[in-house]
């Protein structure tokens, strides 16, 4: 097979297929939601671990569905950039990729039963909806990834959704404050999706996608990404000013070099394509560092006032 490149060990290939640079999009919101819950209840750490594992399984499965269906539709080739590449570059059988994704869904569902039994069975509906969106992102007759709504669905479910569910399973409720704090998480997870689509504008256009980045055009899409970063930081500052968060939340400002780096790299990426890797990494790290630092700020404030 011409598409197969150099040999790679099964362990490294499996790790590559998880798209590890994207997994912080799960870690960060789950931790943030749990830290918010610390203010209202005693944390059930077993539930926290269960939530983390289930969400990671769902995200990895979604990545595998993405790999499978982009290959089946002919969007991914050996020359494509930024993909897992297990099928087109390393000869994995498409059926096996799909099977692993389905098994991960089953695994997540089993853990979900424990989470529901320990909190609320209403989460069954939420979980099934999330799993459906994960599959339909690249599967089904009209994949979400081929529309301008990819950022919205990714951000709402993996950003705000993961924060609020993590909070809910600990407290049994969702408060206005927990929702307000989840908004930057939604924006920044959506930003990861936007950065992917900015990088892939040329290939996605050839593949028939109508992503938001394609509809806006490259320059406007980069500006939209910059605005998303700006709004996320401004949102936290506003919550501090109105008294919903303590000044400790300003620790998120330590992550500012990453979004600045991302925007600079995207703007210079046309002339220097190698900068795209920097832009992608910086965007993902913005989400990670922002949520982790916000969690640390909330954690410090809690113990100062306990």
Confidence check: pLDDT of 290 > 70? yes
Mean residue pLDDT of the chain comes to 88
pLDDT tens-place string over residues 248-261: 999 999 999 999 99
Handedness of CA 130, 134, 137, 139 (dihedral sign): negative
Could you tell me the two tokens for 100?
A: 């692993």
Q: How far is CA 30 from CA 33, 52, 94, 226, in A?
A: 5, 6, 31, 25
pLDDT tens-place string over residues 114-128: 999 999 999 999 999
One-character DSSP codes across 13-27: HHHHHT-GGGTHHHH
In this structure, are residues 162 and 26 in contact, taking their beta carbons and an 8 Å threshold? Answer: yes
Q: Which pLDDT band holds residue 4 (cuts at 50, 70, 90)?
A: very low
Residue-range domain boundaries for the chain: 14-233
Nearest to 134 by CA among 200, 60, 32, 68: 60
In this structure, are residues 252 and 293 in contact, taking their beta carbons and an 8 Å threshold? Answer: yes
pLDDT at 91: 65
| Beta-carbon count within 10 A of 8 CB | 16
Q: Which pLDDT band holds residue 170 (cuts at 50, 70, 90)?
A: very high
In this structure, are residues 82 and 115 in contact, taking their beta carbons and an 8 Å threshold? Answer: no
pLDDT at 95: 84
| Beta-carbon count within 10 A of 41 CB | 12
pLDDT at 1: 40
pLDDT tens-place string over residues 197-212: 998 888 888 878 899 9
In this structure, are residues 16 and 85 in contact, taking their beta carbons and an 8 Å threshold? Answer: yes
Confidence check: pLDDT of 81 > 60? no
pLDDT at 64: 87
Q: Which pLDDT band holds residue 242 (cuts at 50, 70, 90)?
A: very high
Q: Report how far residue 237's alpha carbon sits from residue 260's, in angstroms, rounded to the nearest whole number.
A: 18
Q: Which pLDDT band holds residue 10 (cuts at 50, 70, 90)?
A: low
Q: Which pLDDT band holds residue 79 (cuts at 50, 70, 90)?
A: low
Confidence check: pLDDT of 5 > 50? no
Distance from the first to the final alpha carbon of the chain: 63
pLDDT at 271: 66
DSSP at 6: S
Q: Report how far residue 176's alpha carbon sits from residue 190's, in angstroms, rounded to the nearest whole number.
A: 21
Q: How far is CA 15 from CA 11, 55, 94, 112, 114, in A?
A: 6, 17, 17, 24, 27
pLDDT tens-place string over residues 263-285: 999 988 766 777 888 898 899 99
Nearest to 37 by CA among 18, 24, 51, 26: 51
Could you tell me the two tokens for 79?
A: 């020359």
pLDDT, average across residues 81-94: 62
Is residue 301 packed enough to be buried (19+ CB in 10 Å), middle (13-18) or exposed (0-12)? middle
Q: Which pLDDT band holds residue 224 (cuts at 50, 70, 90)?
A: very high
pLDDT at 3: 43
How many residues comprise the chain?
A: 306
């Amino acid at each position: 097979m011409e598409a197969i490149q150099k040999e790679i060990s099964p362990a490294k290939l499996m790790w590559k297929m998880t798209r590890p640079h994207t997994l912080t999009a799960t870690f960060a919101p789950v931790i943030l939601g749990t830290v918010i819950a610390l203010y209202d209840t005693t944390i059930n750490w077993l539930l926290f671990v269960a939530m983390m594992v289930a969400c990671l399984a769902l995200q990895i499965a979604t990545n595998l569905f993405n790999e499978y269906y982009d290959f089946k539709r002919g969007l991914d080739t050996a020359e494509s950039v930024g993909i897992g590449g297990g099928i087109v570059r390393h000869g994995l059988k498409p059926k096996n990729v799909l099977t692993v994704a389905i098994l991960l869904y089953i695994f997540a569902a089993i853990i979900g039963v424990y989470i529901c039994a320990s909190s609320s069975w209403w989460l069954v509906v939420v979980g099934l909806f999330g799993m459906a969106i994960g599959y339909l992102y690249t599967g089904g007759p009209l994949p979400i990834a081929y529309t301008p709504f990819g950022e919205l669905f990714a951000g709402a479910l993996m950003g705000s959704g993961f924060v609020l569910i993590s909070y809910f399973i600990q407290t049994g409720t969702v408060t206005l404050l927990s929702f307000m704090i989840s908004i930057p998480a939604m924006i920044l997870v959506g930003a990861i999706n936007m950065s992917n689509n900015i990088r892939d504008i040329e290939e996605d256009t050839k593949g028939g996608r109508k992503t938001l980045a394609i509809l806006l055009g490259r320059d406007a899409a980069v500006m939209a990404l910059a605005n998303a970063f700006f709004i996320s930081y401004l949102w936290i500052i506003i919550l501090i000013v109105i008294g919903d968060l303590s000044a400790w939340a300003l620790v998120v400002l330590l992550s500012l070099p990453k979004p600045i780096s991302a925007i600079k790299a995207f703007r210079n990426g046309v002339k220097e394509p190698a900068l795209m890797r920097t832009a992608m990494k910086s965007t993902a790290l913005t989400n990670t560092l922002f949520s982790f630092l916000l969690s640390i700020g909330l954690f410090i404030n809690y113990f100062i006032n306990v």
